[in-house]
Every structure is written in structure tokens, then in C-alpha cells.
């Protein structure tokens, strides 16, 4: 794992923050705008440009053709809260308490959240006087001290946790889907609040229109800040269940309601990119599209697809943590398909390199600078990936080799799978993790076990922030 050494930190402290990072080419503006679009439970196989045969995603397909499609890109964890913590801090969730063996994610009765001392992408870019806004799902703490406006964001419009929480009535969602794949829920059955900054402005949130409203707010923010650098974080609530789509989008996709939801998100992406083009900002704006984890398979037709990848959400198989990812920045990013390793953890170092912001100096980071790949100047510095979930290391990848030491059940990920011994897969030759080759490569198994031992010895777990109860 890559960390900033004390020598590199000393360089940063001396004002040469980028000396230890690859030089950015002259084609990259010093203060590009940054937009991160983050879906919820979108699978690797849910987009046309990633091989889906029935879901139409023309805007994302064009974005991928004009930019870079990353096919081996990973999230920090296979469930919502820790994944978002990894994206925003560049640190494995075990380091900031955003993973737990007691609770999988934060709930409305949780008293914890992302620790205030963590440095978020918004706070990083504040060094360069960026306007910062989040429009969508937060899920890093719903109490005032944990809300986005306390974590570097100027403004917030969205829901504080998952859209299936605070359920107050209605039928069992999974049961209804299994009886009727076309089942459409009632948003009033979920007493989820919609916030503007720290104030609840609607409860229950009308989730039929929520994708559209997130998009409208993001576009409004871009227009208001077109003359200064801005950071837009657009974490959609969808396609996390319960699924909702606007009236205009329903019944349009061959893939049913799930397809309607994805096609509406595609339209949202198109609206954001069209706004950037209209304002002549596209050549000075980096847009990243990805997902927080893989598809929620237990919800059958209301869940997505991991394509050829094994399993989905909640697991450390490829289908749980490898996500569809696109980088777009016309006339700056080198277009093409990238098969090198990258992670949402790497946004911290990448954005620092592209903007000249200084990385945090007082903590260990798990972030790499991907700008050499984006700008066509070099290879990805990420050569390994550590797969954590439930405060426990489950697997490691080094080059093409992936070693599992723990597993979750593929669909019911609440249950652990019994393992006789570690399992080894070549996930470039065997993308579906179908053939365990541990017996053929004992020397690779030993090397990866040693990597796990070294990595775990380096971890200093933070207090479990997910397990803190809400005080009445």
C-alpha cells in the first residue's frame, strides 16, 4: 500500500506539495472544476458501455467514448457508509471508524458519523477556494456535527441516509417484488427526510422526483459558480431500493423499473454535461462517474447486474467492489479503455495533483495519484487492492492475483462463508472468480498472505463510529 512518508510530508510542509507526485502536463489547468457522480448499488454490468444489452445509456456511452472507461476500478468497501467514507477521505474505512463488525452502515438511530477531524475532498479543494456542493445521499452521519456542511461543503440538498430507512408502513418490499416484478412502491411508506443544508424541508421525501431534483440543484449550483472553481458531489439515491423514477421515465426501459431508474440517471448525466458545454466549461471540468458498490442481488429484478463478475453488494468478490467508472475531461483526458487498477480511494491524491492542493500531512492515506493515466503520461501507480468489510480484511489483490481469506455469501451477504483454506484467483484470466488455483501457485499464496500480514500490522483501527447509539 502507498503511504506518504515523513520525508514526503516534510516536502509538503515546505510548500512543494506536488514534488513527490508525477508532473502534470501543461494541458491540465491549475484549477479545474470537479464533478463526481456517485450512484448507489449500480452494478458493473448495468450500463450500455459496460455491456448491458437492454438498458439504454446514450449519455454515459458518449461520455465513455469521449473519456476513459476504467474496467478494473474499485470502491473502498462493498456497502454504502464505508464506501462513501473511502471516496471522500482517501483512507480505508477501518482508519476512520466507518466500518464495523456490529453494524454494516449508519442508521437513523446511529449516534456516530464521519469524524470531524477527517479531511474530505471538499475540505481539500477549499484550500484552492473552490465552491463546494453536495446534491444527493450523504450517509456519513445525520446529526448536525456530521452533516456535509460540517465537512467542507458550502451547501447540501439531499437525504442523510439510505432511502429505505425510516420505513413506517406498506408491504414488505422484497416479498412484493418476488410476487410481482413490476411492483412500484409508495414513497410515503418511507419517512426519509430531505434536507437543505441542516434544515429538513420535506418529510417524507418525494422519491418519485428525487433524481430530477438532485440534478436540477446541481445544475443550478454550476450556473451560480461558473466564474470560479467548483466541486459538485452528486451521489444519487438510486438505484438503491426502493426504486423510484419520475412519471416521465416510467415504463420506458426494456429492463423494467430498474432500467427506468438507470435511464433516468443517464438523462441526469446528460443534463450535467450539456450544462457544462453550454457554459463553455467542459474543457476545464473533470467529471467522474461511478458507483458506491455492486448490485443488491437479493432484490432480484429490482436489483442490478454485475455482468461477468461474481456476486454483488456486501461481498468482497469482484461483483461487490469492482464498479463501472468513467472519467471525462474533453481535450485533456486521453480517451480510451483503461485496464489498470484504480479506486475511489485515489480521488484524494488525484484531485490534489490536478489542483495543487496539499494532501493531509498528519495521517496515513490509502490514495494514489491517477493523473498520469488520465493525461496519457504514465501507468497507474496502484498495483494492489485490499478488500475490507465489517472491520475485517477479506481479500487482497496484487497484479492479476487475488487471494480470499474470508468470504460472504454471494446473495445473503449477512452470512459468512466457511472456508477450509485461502482461495486464489487470477482475476484477469478469470474475471468471474470461478477457478480457484491456490494449489497450483503456493508461492503466490504465501506472498499474498505476507502482504496481508504486513498490511494488518500497519492498521490502527479507529473507534467504531457505526456502533455508537443515538442518545435519546
Q: How many residues appear in the chain?
A: 472
Say whether 455 is catalytic: no
Among residues 39, 49, 59, 80, which one is catalytic?
Answer: 80
Among residues 39, 59, 139, 302, which one is catalytic?
Answer: 139
C-beta neighbour count of 155 within 10 angstroms: 16
C-beta neighbour count of 291 within 10 angstroms: 29
The answer for 264, left when phi > 0, alpha when psi is -120 to 50, beta otherwise, is alpha
Q: How many CA atoms lie within 13 A of 83 on its CB side?
A: 29
Say whether 139 is catalytic: yes
- Catalytic site positions: 80, 139
Amino acid at each position: 500500500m502507498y503511504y506518504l512518508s515523513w520525508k514526503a510530508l516534510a516536502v509538503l510542509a515546505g510548500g512543494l506539495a506536488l514534488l513527490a507526485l508525477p508532473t502534470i502536463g501543461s494541458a491540465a489547468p491549475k484549477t479545474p472544476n470537479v464533478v463526481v457522480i456517485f450512484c448507489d448499488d449500480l452494478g458493473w454490468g448495468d450500463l450500455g458501455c459496460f455491456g448491458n444489452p437492454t438498458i439504454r445509456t446514450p449519455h454515459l456511452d458518449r461520455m465513455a467514448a469521449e473519456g476513459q472507461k476504467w474496467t478494473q476500478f474499485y470502491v473502498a468497501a462493498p456497502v454504502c457508509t464505508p464506501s462513501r467514507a473511502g471516496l471522500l477521505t482517501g483512507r480505508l474505512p477501518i482508519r476512520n471508524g466507518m466500518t464495523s463488525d456490529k453494524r454494516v452502515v449508519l442508521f437513523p438511530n446511529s449516534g456516530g458519523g464521519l469524524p470531524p477531524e477527517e479531511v474530505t475532498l471538499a475540505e481539500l479543494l477549499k484550500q484552492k477556494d473552490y465552491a463546494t456542493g453536495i446534491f444527493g445521499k450523504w450517509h456519513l452521519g445525520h446529526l448536525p456535527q456530521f452533516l456535509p456542511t460540517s465537512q467542507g461543503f458550502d451547501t447540501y440538498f439531499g437525504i442523510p441516509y439510505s432511502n429505505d430507512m425510516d420505513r413506517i408502513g406498506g408491504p414488505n418490499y422484497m416479498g412484493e417484488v418476488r410476487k410481482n416484478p413490476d411492483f412500484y412502491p409508495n414513497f410515503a411508506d418511507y419517512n426519509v427526510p430531505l434536507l437543505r443544508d441542516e434544515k429538513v424541508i420535506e418529510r417524507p421525501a418525494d422519491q418519485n422526483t428525487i433524481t430530477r431534483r438532485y440534478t436540477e440543484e446541481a445544475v443550478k449550483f454550476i450556473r451560480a459558480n461558473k466564474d470560479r472553481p467548483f466541486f459538485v458531489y452528486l451521489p444519487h439515491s438510486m438505484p438503491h431500493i426502493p426504486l423510484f423514477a419520475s412519471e416521465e421515465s416510467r415504463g420506458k426501459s426494456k429492463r423494467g423499473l430498474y432500467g427506468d431508474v438507470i435511464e433516468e440517471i443517464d438523462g441526469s448525466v446528460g443534463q450535467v454535461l450539456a450544462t457544462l458545454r453550454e457554459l463553455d466549461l467542459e474543457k476545464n471540468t473533470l467529471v467522474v462517474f461511478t458507483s458506491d458498490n455492486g448490485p443488491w442481488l437479493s432484490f432480484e429484478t429490482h436489483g442490478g447486474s454485475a455482468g461477468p463478475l461474481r456476486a454483488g453488494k456486501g461481498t468482497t468478490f469482484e461483483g461487490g467492489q469492482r464498479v463501472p467508472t468513467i472519467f471525462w475531461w474533453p481535450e485533456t483526458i486521453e480517451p480510451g479503455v483503461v485496464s489498470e487498477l484504480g479506486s475511489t480511494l485515489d480521488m484524494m491524491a488525484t484531485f490534489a495533483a490536478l489542483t495543487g492542493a496539499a494532501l493531509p500531512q498528519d495521517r496515513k492515506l490509502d490514495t494514489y495519484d491517477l493523473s498520469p493515466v488520465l493525461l496519457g503520461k504514465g501507468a497507474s501507480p496502484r498495483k494492489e487492492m485490499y478488500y475490507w468489510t465489517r472491520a475485517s480484511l477479506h481479500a487482497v489483490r496484487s497484479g492479476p492475483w487475488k487471494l480470499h481469506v474470508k468470504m460472504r455469501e454471494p446473495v445473503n451477504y449477512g452470512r459468512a462463508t466457511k472456508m477450509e483454506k485461502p482461495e486464489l484467483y487470477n482475476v484477469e484470466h478469470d474475471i468471474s472468480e470461478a477457478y480457484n488455483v491456490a494449489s497450483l501457485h503456493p508461492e503466490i499464496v504465501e506472498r499474498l498472505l505476507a502482504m496481508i500480514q504486513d498490511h494488518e500490522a500497519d492498521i490502527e483501527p479507529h473507534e467504531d463510529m457505526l456502533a455508537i447509539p443515538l442518545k435519546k
